[in-house]
């Protein structure tokens, strides 16, 4: 028996007329289930969602009138009511009868609220499917009973498993087209379960349905007397939503530091895992400082306990340094902190992944600079085979090593989706070009936390009686960086200042001896020198760095690691003709003879600073004049006379 329009009614809606406040209270406290529908093209995903909306009376009268009109002009049911049009909102979707974008719809029943994402079936829109699945608790995998398990069925199931969805409804749709055959359903069920077990999907409920006619969608169908399981809506109302994070250790990325007045300092965010109470000991990451929760503050007053996914403000008993992007976590069960990861990357950019080039990586409330290595392999989502790859193109998935410019707290995605999921953003266009799942930390960074010390930066500064900073000399080889920096240090030393000169060539004899001159190695060279310079600033020193450092983004990343007023970029600017004439090391001569490669300015690019604190045109001034300009910059900034 098929459902008649409006056969399933949300009884709580009767309260609207009699007691609106009671209705709102009841509605507010219903549980929420987020789910997606996915499958191959024309399996009936949009029709199924339209059926749920229509039968649960979540379609307004004006929408219903428009649906009747559009069904006659754009429908695929010969003028009859086409429920798919409730979801397929784009003109291109209606013209082609397919889903292109992710369509989100909300509906509710007496027992629960739902947010459903209708995701595209076409392979070229895999990235859209990933977007819809990233927040879902459950996936409805539709299979056309006439066609059985297809390649796209396997592809979407793999993505569902990859993105951490463990509850699956296998909706064998269009069962009316195969005369409600029990044998067809059992054959499809057996084949799908054998495949799904291999990718970690075991929590599967198979339901024979007809989205078009309503069989087993909202009410039990008389056409399938052999089926004894739940209806689709009945299962959606009863299935537990994701509660794993509620029972795990406490995690809360700080989204905002609240300072409404001088007497209050709170840390606001959404709990990403576990629960918290006043008196709990928490660790601030990545700093490693430990404090105690004083209050849990909300708009409705203080709470005695809060748990994921509530949004709250915490106050601590100690005046510890906490900033946006930090994570408050259970002190005795903290997440890892690392800057190098093995990650699964899903590429969404029209332009393929540029390995070794910097991207912005956003994880939680923190944004850092990241470089992605050549993939260890990419996954053929049709066969699950691991294939060699030099890069990733649109909709491709691979396992890569990702290096960040600073450590971040994280949990593996399989443990906590909020703490292990990230997106990659192109630095120039600001487009999201990739999504990823952190698998594990690399390079021995497991369970390593920053160790707080009693003698800190302020103590070093007070003892030396000076304001520390980094003066970063950048420019092509032979532009005069080392000569000028050497003169500056001699004069600072004569004034009694505590300094250190980090010369790029000298560092390649020891600290960076293992690095070559590929783009990836140059980025790592800059990162290491930047970290050493930052530590020296913590020790209270004036640090002079002479490094070609050809990439603007990497220099900016070093600046971002310093406090305001501690980083001075000095562009030692010399024309290529001048440096080729100087050529004290014979580098340009070797490049011209083909004896040297990756020479900056010849066959390797140099990105000049856009807004340096100081530009030194060394073709127009002597080294002594240039050093005097640097000292003038430091004097004006208050470094020489703090």
Domain 11-242 - what CATH class?
Answer: alpha beta
Q: Report domain extents, the chain.
A: 11-242, 245-330, 336-441, 457-636
Predicted confidence (pLDDT) at residue 210 exceeds the cutoff of 60: yes
* pLDDT tens column, 110-158: 888 888 877 654 455 566 677 777 778 899 999 999 999 888 888 888 8
Residue-level length of the chain: 642
What Å distances lie between residue 96 and 41, 74, 93, 285, 553, CA to CA? 11, 9, 5, 50, 44
Contact 140, 119 (CB under 8 A): no
pLDDT-derived band of residue 90, with 50, 70 and 90 as boundaries?
A: very low
Of residues 98 and 142, more confidence is placed in: 142
Calculate the CA 84 to chain-centre distance. Answer: 32
Q: Name the pLDDT band for 99 (thresholds 50, 70, 90).
A: very low
Q: Specify the pLDDT at position 494.
A: 94
Q: What is the pLDDT of residue 78?
A: 52
State the pLDDT at residue 271.
92
Per-residue pLDDT averaged across 201-226, rounded? Answer: 90
* CB within 8 Å of 357: residues ≥ 6 apart: 371, 519
Domains 245-330 and 336-441 share a fold: yes
Tens of pLDDT along 511-558? 989 888 887 788 888 989 999 999 999 999 999 999 999 888 888 889
Q: What is the pLDDT of residue 106?
A: 79
48 within 8 A of 173, measured Cβ to Cβ: yes
pLDDT at 5: 43
Q: Is 161 a catalytic residue?
A: no
Residues 363-394: pLDDT tens digits?
988 999 999 988 999 988 777 789 999 999 98
Rounded average pLDDT over 189-213? 91
Over residues 232-260, the pLDDT tens digits come to 989 998 888 765 556 789 999 999 999 88
Using pLDDT thresholds of 50, 70 and 90, give the confidence band for residue 572. Answer: very high
Quickly state the pLDDT bin for 7 (edges 50, 70, 90): very low
Residue 591 pLDDT more than 50? yes
Cα separation, 84 vs 5, in Å, equals: 15
**CATH of 457-636 given 3.40.50.300, 1.10.10.10, 3.40.50.20, 3.40.109.10:** 3.40.50.300
Stretch among 108-112, 148-152, 306-310, 450-454 having the lowest mean pLDDT: 450-454
The per-residue DSSP string of 81-113 comes to --GGGGT--SHHHHHHTS--S-EEEEEE-SSEE
Please choose, from the candidates 528, 531, 523, the residue with its C-alpha nearest in 3D space to the C-alpha of residue 552.
Answer: 523
Whether the Cβ atoms of residue 570 and residue 473 lie closer than 8 Å to each other: yes
Out of 2.60.40.10, 2.40.50.140, 2.40.30.10, 3.40.50.300, select the CATH number for domain 336-441: 2.40.30.10
Please indicate whether residue 52 or residue 449 has the higher confidence score (pLDDT).
52
- Give me the catalytic one of 549, 577, 604, 622: 549
In CATH, 245-330 is 2.40.30.10: yes
The pTM of the full predicted model, rounded to 2 decimals, is: 0.64
* Whether the predicted pLDDT of 43 surpasses 80: no
**b/e map 393-407, b = 16+ CB within 10 Å:** eebbbbbbbbbbbbb
Mean pLDDT of 90-95: 38
| Pairwise CA distance, residues 368 & 349, whole Å | 19
pLDDT > 70: percent of the chain:
81
* Amino acid 502: pLDDT: 95
The mean pLDDT value of the chain amounts to 83
Quick one: tokens of 395? 């909709």
Quote the pLDDT of residue 394.
86
Backbone angles phi, psi at 260, to 5 degrees: -70, -25
């Amino acid at each position: 028996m098929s459902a008649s329009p409006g056969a399933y009614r949300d009884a709580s809606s009767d309260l609207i007329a009699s007691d609106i406040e009671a209705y709102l209270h009841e509605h507010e406290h219903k549980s929420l289930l987020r789910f997606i529908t996915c499958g191959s093209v024309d399996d009936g995903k949009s029709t199924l969602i339209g059926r749920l909306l229509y039968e649960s009376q979540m379609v307004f009268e004006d929408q219903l009138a428009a649906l009747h009109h559009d069904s006659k002009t754009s429908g695929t049911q010969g003028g009859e009511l086409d429920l798919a049009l409730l979801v397929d909102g784009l003109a291109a979707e209606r013209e082609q009868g397919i889903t292109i974008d992710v369509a989100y719809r909300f509906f509710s029943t007496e027992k629960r609220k739902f947010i459903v994402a209708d995701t595209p079936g076409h392979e070229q829109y895999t990235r859209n499917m990933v977007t819809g699945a990233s927040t879902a608790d459950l996936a409805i995998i539709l299979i056309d009973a006439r066609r059985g398990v297809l390649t796209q069925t396997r592809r979407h199931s793999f993505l569902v498993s990859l993105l951490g969805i463990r509850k699956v409804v296998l909706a064998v749709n269009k069962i009316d087209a195969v005369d409600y055959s029990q044998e067809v359903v059992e054959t499809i069920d057996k084949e799908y379960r054998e495949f799904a077990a291999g990718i970690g999907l075991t929590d599967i409920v198979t339901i024979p349905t007809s989205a078009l006619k309503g069989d087993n969608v909202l009410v039990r169908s008389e056409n399938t007397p052999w089926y004894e399981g739940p209806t689709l809506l009945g299962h959606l109302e009863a299935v537990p939503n994701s509660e794993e994070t509620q029972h795990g250790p406490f995690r809360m990325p700080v989204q905002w530091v609240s300072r409404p007045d001088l007497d209050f300092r709170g840390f606001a965010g959404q709990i990403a895992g576990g629960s918290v109470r006043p008196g709990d000991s928490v660790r601030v990451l990545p700093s490693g400082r430990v404090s105690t929760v004083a209050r849990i503050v909300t708009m409705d007053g203080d709470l005695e306990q809060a748990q994921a996914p509530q949004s709250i403000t915490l106050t601590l008993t100690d005046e510890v340094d906490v900033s946006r992007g930090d994570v408050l976590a259970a002190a005795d069960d903290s997440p890892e902190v690392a800057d190098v990861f093995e990650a699964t990357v899903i590429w969404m950019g029209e332009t393929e992944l540029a390995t070794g080039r910097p991207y912005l990586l956003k994880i939680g409330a923190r944004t850092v600079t990241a470089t992605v290595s050549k993939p260890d392999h990419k996954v053929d989502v049709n066969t699950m085979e691991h294939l060699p790859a030099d890069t990733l193109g649109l909709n491709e998935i691979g396992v890569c090593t990702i290096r960040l410019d600073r450590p971040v707290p994280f949990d593996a995605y399989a443990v906590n989706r909020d703490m292990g999921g990230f997106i990659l953003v192109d630095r120039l266009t600001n487009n999201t070009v990739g999504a990823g799942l952190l698998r594990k930390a690399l390079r021995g960074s497991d369970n390593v936390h920053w160790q707080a010390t009693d003698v800190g930066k302020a103590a070093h500064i007070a003892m030396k009686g000076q304001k520390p900073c980094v003066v970063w000399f950048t420019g092509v080889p032979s532009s005069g960086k080392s000569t000028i920096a050497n003169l500056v240090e001699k004069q600072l030393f004569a004034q009694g200042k505590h300094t250190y000169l980090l010369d790029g060539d000298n560092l390649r004899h020891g600290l960076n001896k293992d690095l070559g001159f590929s783009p990836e190695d140059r980025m790592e060279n800059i990162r290491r020198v930047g970290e050493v310079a930052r530590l020296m600033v913590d020790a209270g020193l004036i640090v002079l760095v002479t490094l070609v450092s050809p990439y603007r983004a990497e220099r900016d990343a070093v600046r971002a690691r310093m406090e305001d007023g501690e980083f001075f970029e000095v562009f030692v600017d010399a024309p290529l003709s001048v440096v080729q004439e100087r050529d004290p090391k014979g580098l340009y001569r070797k490049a011209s003879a083909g004896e040297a490669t990756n020479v900056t300015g010849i066959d390797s690019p140099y990105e000049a600073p856009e807004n340096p604190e100081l530009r030194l045109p060394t073709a127009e001034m002597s080294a002594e004049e240039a050093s005097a300009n640097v000292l003038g910059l430091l004097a004006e900034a208050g470094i020489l006379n703090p």
